[in-house]
Amino acid sequence: MDALQKESISTQPTLNEGDSVRNQTPDLEKQSTKQTAETSEPTKELFPETDLSLGLVGWDGQDDPNNPQNFPANKKWSLLALISVMTLISPLASSMFSPAISYVAMEFGVMDQTILSFSVSIYILGYAFGPLLLAPLSEVYGRRVVLSGANWFFVVWQIGCALANSIETLIICRLFAGIGGSGCLTLGAGVIADLFPREQRGMATSVWAMGPLIGPVIGPIAGGFLGQEAGWRWVFWLLLIVGGVVSFGVEVLNKETYADVLIRWKTEKLAKETGRTDLRSAYDTNKESVGLTQTLVQSFKRPLLLFVKSPIVFLLCVYMSFIYGLLYLFFTTIPSVFTQKYGFSVGLSGLAYLGIGFGFIGGLAMIAFTNDRLVMAATAKNGGKFEPEMRLPTMIIFACILPISFFWYGWSADKHVFWIVPIIGMFPFGVGMMGVYMPIQTYIIDCYPKYAASANATLTATRSLVGALLPLAGPKMFDTLGLGWGNSLLGFLALAFIPIPILFIKYGKVIREKWPVDLDGKKA
């Protein structure tokens, strides 16, 4: 991580005019775990200041109003809300189509259930590829332009989906729509790191994460009724309209928040005004000028480097992918269970997702209002020294809650218990998944604030790959084992994974410190 992104407490001395930024700020990769403090007051980023005598261009003081972390609170939350709205619409598209798949099967004459399931899950496969491209680009060209491009790419491909005349065309169009739709999911983590100090990131991440978890629940409800009354093509026309309106709003109201890009623009402007050719951004820690091609190559390598060279990121990716796979295996059974076993219409079957949806909301509220407070209390108890692993202890509780749903829902549906019972049985999984998902997401942002987009891309790509492919095995598994034992198998797997959060909490810091990753392309 960049040497100039070090997080420090508010009592940290600022850089005086004429002082060298390089001398004042040690490399974060070496010092991320050596921050000391004499107070537990909220943190403040240490920002590099302009020092023209050394040819360095930074912020105009620690309170520079152009610095995104110094934006007024209402502006910060408004920018986050803008991105969060699109973050709701994109995941909505992932599942909104699923209840209407039977109408597609009839129109195109497709009887293969694996192909039909793939036409739904292929959208999530787009989430696996998109972040690996968009996150690095945002760390070179900035968040705003990359997010806008991704949003419009998502919108345009809805037209292809709506006009598709074969299942093959529909699958291809949904893949590209998923790639565009991954923009808001990928860059939101970066925007949070850009705007918020760490004591506010838990709440900010909770707001932003509502979309990826609630969208797939709302989608089947809306898609079921819309597909039944207006036809499956209107699912995509509606996504086109809503997505277009929100994308236009993002285009007009969104602001650039990435500090590296903002200071680069400032450097270019000052160089033009003063005629000096020796000026460089204080965020550029490379002494030698690096070309655009080399910068892009290094940016594209970051998500892969994190996955391969950081054991803690790799393990978190595996754990989150497992939980995400369970979610989508859960989703594969809901439409058939409530239409075939309980006689629901296609539209009404979507309402069954409310059980897991209310669980998401409950878990989200718990994390939003406790995570930051617990972290601040742990920091104070630790002598004012913050460690990212302080985000993780609550995961143990939620990991224990999560498996309950598989036994409750699976056996109540298998024995045809009154329909409200299996719906209520989904609630614990929603609570548990949110309680696991949110701390991991915020932990990654805290560990890699400058490259939060790339770090989040690693998480998003791996979990989306599993979420897209694993459900394809769902129908055969449940046909073989039945609802009771099929869900029980998932429940036993979830129980087996309960010790994983304990290992993260106990050994996470040791692993993170022992295997640091050079994300700037420099030798430590």
pLDDT digits (tens, 9 = 90+) for 155-213: 999 999 999 999 999 999 999 999 999 888 888 888 888 899 878 888 888 888 777 77
Among the ranges given (154-168, 218-232, 236-250, 496-510), the one the predictor scored with the smallest mean pLDDT: 218-232
pLDDT at 8: 35
The whole-number average pLDDT for the span 392-401 is: 90
- CB neighbour list of residue 359: distance below 8 Å, 6 or more residues apart: 405, 426, 427, 428, 429, 430, 431, 432, 433, 434
pLDDT at 2: 40
pLDDT at 400: 93
What confidence category does residue 409 fall into, taking pLDDT thresholds of 50, 70 and 90? Answer: very high
The answer to whether 97 touches 118, Cβ cutoff 8 Å, is no
Neighbours of 252 (CB within 10 A): 9
Q: What is the C-alpha separation between 351 and 223, in angstroms, rounded?
A: 11
* Torsion angle, alpha carbons of 418, 422, 424, 426, to 10: -170
Put residue 64 in one of left, alpha, beta given phi > 0 → left and psi -120 to 50 → alpha: beta
Residue 79 phi, psi (nearest 5): -65, -40
Q: What is the C-alpha separation between 291 and 32, in angstroms, rounded?
A: 28
Q: What confidence tens digit (pLDDT) does each residue in 94-142 have?
A: 878 877 787 888 888 888 777 887 888 888 888 888 888 888 888 888 8
Domains and CATH numbers, the chain: 68-253+299-514 (1.20.1250.20)
Q: What confidence tens digit (pLDDT) does each residue in 435-485 have?
A: 988 888 888 888 888 788 788 888 888 888 888 787 777 778 888 888 889
**For residues 386 and 22, which has the higher predicted lDDT (pLDDT)?**
386
Q: What confidence tens digit (pLDDT) does each residue in 332-345 have?
A: 778 778 888 888 87
The three-class DSSP label of residue 276 is coil
Closest listed residue to residue 389, CA positions, set 57, 7, 2, 33: 33
Could you tell me the two tokens for 132?
């690996």
Strands (E), 167-296: 280-281
Range 68-79 burial, b when 16+ CB lie within 10 A, else e = bbbbeeeebbeb
**For residues 1 and 413, which has the higher predicted lDDT (pLDDT)?**
413
Q: What is the C-alpha separation between 318 and 302, in angstroms, rounded?
A: 18
What confidence category does residue 24 fall into, taking pLDDT thresholds of 50, 70 and 90? Answer: very low
The answer to whether 184 touches 460, Cβ cutoff 8 Å, is no
Closest listed residue to residue 199, CA positions, set 444, 390, 372: 372
Burial of 7 (0-12, 13-18, 19+ CB in 10 A): middle
What confidence category does residue 36 fall into, taking pLDDT thresholds of 50, 70 and 90? Answer: very low
Asked if the model's pLDDT at residue 411 lies above 90, the reply is yes
pTM of the model: 0.76
User: In the chain, pLDDT over 70 holds for what percent of residues?
Assistant: 88
Put residue 442 in one of left, alpha, beta given phi > 0 → left and psi -120 to 50 → alpha: alpha
pLDDT at 46: 67
Burial of 115 (0-12, 13-18, 19+ CB in 10 A): middle
Half-sphere exposure of 166 (CA within 13 A, CB side): 3
Could you tell me the two tokens for 358?
């209310």
Contacts by residues 261-269 (CB-CB < 8 Å, ≥ 24 positions apart): 261/141, 261/142, 261/143, 262/66, 262/67, 262/68, 262/142, 263/48, 263/57, 263/58, 263/59, 266/57, 267/57
Half-sphere exposure of 206 (CA within 13 A, CB side): 20
User: In the chain, pLDDT over 90 holds for what percent of residues?
Assistant: 19
